[in-house]
Chains A and B, each alone.
Chain A
């Protein structure tokens, strides 16, 4: 019962965002893994077009499971995923995934890895290389086209993963803890670049993380998931002025208050 009232409060909170057209909706998602592990319970969510929405919660709350269900990589036991109002059950061209462990082909160069999504679609080599080079440049990896993944640092590898997802020109980018295998310095730089990239690429982002600071720094909307079985416990819309420098944002009053508010919300789920 408590959860239900919280859910309603959350809806009201995110009302002005809901007035935006939602590009992805999930309805009544339940996921039970073999062995009666109830990962997700009755999850209803809307993801507004053009916004960056973060799924945040303690480990094991099912946030990655939810993202993979949206991606079509996992099937829910019940419930639907709607993309632009159409029900989907498999991966589609309107969604692109960025993997936590990068999932790069070790035997392929940066250029081929970035163009791999296009290669699978049967695009001619010269054309896909041209597009790949553009996105390699955009993520700041020019000059590394002919390197292999093992010659790159963790941060650079994830830039390749991001460029690959951008290259297929999907409307929605799904990022599964993309910075968790990247060291702290690179992580910050990467977050800053991601904000800059959002201004160039008008895309919808759905982002999974367990870092409160990261979520607040990047997101238009933060969905807090409860501990297993994961359900939506709160939706927060940080009102942060992101026009300043990264340092200014990180010292911004609203930024710090939101981090605190989320911590208070998540506290109950920590042992």
Chain B
């Protein structure tokens, strides 16, 4: 360590981790400040009040803890998460493998690409009643709603990621005698992973839209049921608590995914 520090370049590089940690801390403060500002504005807007159906932030938090306390929140999430997780896992597995296959083989691209390009452009909410018509109101219909929204963006991102892999890295792998399989696993997938993960983040976000749409449009269950019920009985604080909790849950899931990418897949992107 000491020997390295004599070199000014090395010394400068050794200093970087501390700086990075410092800027990360500052970053965190800004984020917290922005969240505090948002909740503050909400509280004031609720107190004015801008609308009879618009509760204050504090009332919403109180309603949230009340629902956590009496178990309704837990029960609702149990119902919502089941089709959501099944749908997202299916979309991720099928979506990434289809997209990668499209990027690797022209024939797959020609066969599959138009379907997903149309699906991505389609207003899927209009299709969901049709899904109910065919698959009823059970788990299947909800899983399909999630997949309809999540799949296209995952497929198309994975496809573009693989199609735009750095050709020089592929040539490098070939010149150092990498097999076609090594080329996919050691070059193409890692090089494509940032765009694939961006697709997964968008896809999972869309999956949340899908499940809530399904719960509002097909049959009220889980979080969708909490929203519909409390709206019907004019319990606006409870309705907002349900809405805010699913938004927060979705945001946390996406941050978790980013954490996985930075720590397990592309470590060089950490802190940058």
Contacts and interface: CB of A to CB of B under 8 A. Distances in A.
Contacts of A197: none
A96 B7 contact: no
B10 A116 contact: no
Contacts of A95: 175
Contacts, number: 62
A265 interface: no
Contacts of B175: 71-73, 91, 95-97
B10 A143 contact: yes
Contact of A121 (B4, B171, B177, B267): B177
A109 B88 CA distance: 33
- Range class of the B interface residue count: 20 to 34
A66 to B, nearest CB: 15
B27 to A, nearest CB: 20
Contact of A103 (B4, B13, B171): B171
A103 B7 contact: no
Contacts of A120: 173, 176-179, 182, 186
A116 B176 contact: yes
Interface stretch (A31-39, A129-137, A145-153, A246-254): A145-153
B3 A148 contact: no
A72 B190 CA distance: 25
B190 A92 contact: no
A178 interface: no
B24 interface: no
Interface string B166-191: 10110111111111001000110011
Interface residues of A, number: 29
B176 A117 contact: yes
B266 interface: yes
A72 to B, nearest CB: 7
Residue among B4, B176, B191 with the highest chain A CB neighbour number at 10 A: B176
Nearest to A144: B10
A105 interface: yes
A103 B172 contact: yes
Nearest to A149: B268
A93 interface: yes
Interface in A68-95: 71-73, 91-93, 95
B20 to A, nearest CB: 12
B182 A99 contact: no
A106 B171 contact: no
Contacts of B190: 105, 107
A92 B268 contact: no
A153 to B, nearest CB: 8
A222 interface: no
A101 interface: yes
A168 interface: yes
A143 B169 contact: no
Contacts of A116: 176
A99 B176 contact: no
Given A73-B174, A93-B177, A148-B267, 10 more contacts: A92-B177, A97-B175, A99-B171, A105-B190, A106-B191, A106-B268, A120-B186, A147-B13, A149-B268, A151-B13
21 contacts: A72-B175, A73-B171, A73-B175, A91-B174, A91-B175, A93-B177, A99-B172, A101-B168, A103-B166, A103-B168, A105-B187, A105-B190, A106-B191, A106-B268, A116-B176, A117-B176, A143-B3, A143-B7, A144-B10, A149-B268, A151-B13
3 closest A-B pairs by CB? A103-B172, A117-B176, A148-B268
